[in-house]
Structure 1
Amino acid sequence: MVSIEHKDVESLIGTGCNFSYVPLAGLSGGILVLWRSNLANFSMIESSSQFIIGDLDILNKGKWRIATIYGSKDVYNRRLLCNGLEPHITNDCIMVIGGDFNCLLDKEDKKGGRRFSFSFGPKEMKYFMTSNDIYELGFSGHRLTWSNNKKGSDQIMERLDRMMVNSISVNYNQQMVVKHLPRIVSDHCPILLNTLKSSSKVKKSIKFEDVWASYPASYAVVEKA
């Protein structure tokens, strides 16, 4: 994905779409964002090798801030992802952050291979979510979204792909439902976000994990809240 033109997009999914993209870095990476021109308009705010973020004006739904993620496997490079997103996180409108974070958050997010360790990577990602008032959406479908496509004892499966939202989205008058679709040609499951009419508002829950107390900066977050 060195460069993309409209004819390339049309050959993949047909006419009527517009797009923004980040090209490949070497032989890996690359992000492509597509939207139906007759249903929405996307204005990119910032991009990097790990994300594209912008405002999506959706017909009959207003403005949503959307961040599409392809996180680095390296924990130190992934800090650039969090640092790049933070200035653009808002509660002025619905915000959705979704994609391949390349980060495990829990031992239940891994099957096979080396045992999960709650190391700097998971700790920093959870702290990023807490300090920025970001919540992970529930999902239906298979929990583990990535596979190394091997069999037997060599198989490794992990949950690398997620959808997260800001606090205003939690009280949105439509229920947000994430589906993990079957893997077909990729080693990742596609993840689909649907909005359904809800008769009652979703109650916001408060969660706390003991590990947050090991970060002195967390005290300031709690005090501010």
Structure 2
Amino acid sequence: MLIFFVSEDSGSSQWRLTGFYGAPAIQDRVHSWRLLRQLHDSPLIPWCVIEDFNEILSSHEKQGGLLRNEWQMRNFREALEDCELFDLGYLGNWYTWEWGRTTANNIRERLDRGVANSAWENLFLNYILDHLTNSFSDHCPLLLSTCPNFGQPQQYWHFRFEASWLLESSCEAEVEHLWSSSVGTIPDCLLAVNLGLDRWLVKLKEKRS
């Protein structure tokens, strides 16, 4: 694991970057999530964690091979939630790890990812995370660009959806309601759904507290 403090050229902001490697053995992964929680100091410090977590968030991030145990994925989701880290999304192939070259034994999983807290996302509104093409490794490299269009006024907005929300019984109905009541272009509707889900999540947390 590598931990860096990054200062921008302007000197106006500093953020923390963690290169994380999840334990390859299933029984040891609980220690990885405990370490991640220990690294969670404050939501006010912009924080990005990237690399190989050796785990997936949901069964949709795996193709081929045996089904992943739900408790494994749940432990990973809960660790990210406790650390207030959100998935950064990606460009490129949906998977980052592949094993087997024939249809019968091919397995693909999204084991590598970038996650960050809200403070980091607010600092880099135009970020892009690319899944690059792999050559010799069974993992594809990740390229995180914090200013992909430096000097250009174009802005990017990233739709954020957490896989753990699907476990809530009211999620599907809420998405349907937000989408049907939204107007405008598809990006406008997606923005309305995302903002509505943010409000829905706040209310959900208030009910639990």
> TM-score with structure 2 length normalisation?
0.68
Which structure is higher in strand share?
1
Q: Report the equivalent of 1:92.
A: 44
- Give the one of 165, 174, 178 matched to 2:116: 165
Question: Do 1:171 and 1:202's aligned partners in 2 also have CA atoms closer than 8 Å?
Answer: no
What are the within-5 Å matches in structure 2 for residues 202-213 of structure 1?
A: 202=157, 209=165, 211=167
Bigger helix share: 2
Does the 8 A contact of 1:140 with 1:179 survive in 2? yes
Runs (5+) with no aligned partner, structure 2: 170-203
What is the percentage of aligned positions where both structures have the same residue? 23
Alignment partner of 2:10 out of 54, 60, 63: 60
Give the distance between the partners of 2:140 and 2:100, measured in 1 at CA: 12
Alignment counterpart, residue 76 of structure 2, candidates 112, 118, 125: 125
2:183 aligns with none
Greater RCO, 1 or 2 (C-alpha within 8 Å, sep 6+): 2
| Number of equivalences | 167
Q: TM-score, normalised by structure 1?
A: 0.64
Report the counterpart of residue 35 of structure 1 in structure 2. none
Matched, 1:102 2:54: yes
Equivalents in 1 of 2:159, 2:43: separation in Å?
15
Q: Which moved more, 1:97-106 or 1:75-84?
A: 75-84
**In structure 1, distance between residues paired with 2:20 and 2:126:** 22
C-alpha deviation, 1:63, in angstroms: 1.6
Residue in 2 aligned with 1:195?
146
SS in structure 2 opposite 1:154?
coil
Give the superposition deviation at 1:153.
0.7
Q: Which residue number in structure 2 is paired with residue 222 of structure 1?
A: 205
Q: Secondary structure at the match of 1:209?
A: helix
Give the whole-Å Cα distance in 1 for the aligned partners of 2:121 and 2:65: 35
2:101 match: secondary structure: coil
Q: Match of 1:111?
A: 63
Per-residue deviation, 1:116 = 3.5
Residues 65-119 of structure 1: per-residue CA shift (max 9 Å, x gap): 11111111333322222222223323333211011111021222111111344x2
